[in-house]
Amino acid sequence: QKEVEQNSGPLSVPEGAIASLNCTYSDRGSQSFFWYRQYSGKSPELIMFIYSNGDKEDGRFTAQLNKASQYVSLLIRDSQPSDSATYLCAVRRGGNKLTFGTGTQLKVEL
């Protein structure tokens, strides 16, 4: 079982819709969770981080964490073509080891 799993996609959504990206993790000791956006040929850019169960909102982005289900998600409201990228889920157990999922490719269509 992979430590961090994501559906590779592509996930296609129309412009203006809500994009829902999901991530599961295997280690129940995981403590902090991150979403990065990566455009082709560029480096990962931090979008959101969440440490506690529940929702965390920042602008058009909402991160959701459910530690009992070992599940973290990212919602993008009012999706724009500029949101088209690969979204990487990353998990930190404790210490400084940050492990990435394989990423989900999001395509926002006009």
Partner 1 sequence: DTEVTQTPKHLVMGMTNKKSLKCEQHMGHRAMYWYKQKAKKPPELMFVYSYEKLSINESVPSRFSPECPNSSLLNLHLHALQPEDSALYLCASSHDRAEAFFGQGTRLTVV
Q: What is the dihedral of CA 46, 33, 56, 71, to 10 degrees?
A: 130
CB 25 within 8 A of CB 19: no
Decide if residue 19 touches partner 1 (CB under 8 A): no
User: Residue 83: helix, strand or coil by DSSP?
Assistant: helix
Decide if residue 44 touches partner 1 (CB under 8 A): yes
**Which of 1, 69, 82, 96 is close enough to bind partner 1 by CB under 8 A?**
96
Decide if residue 29 touches partner 1 (CB under 8 A): no
Structure tokens that stand for 86 in this block: 């690969």
Decide if residue 76 touches partner 1 (CB under 8 A): no
Under the rule (CB under 8 A), what is the footprint of partner 1? 31-32, 34, 36, 42-46, 49, 88, 90, 92, 94-103
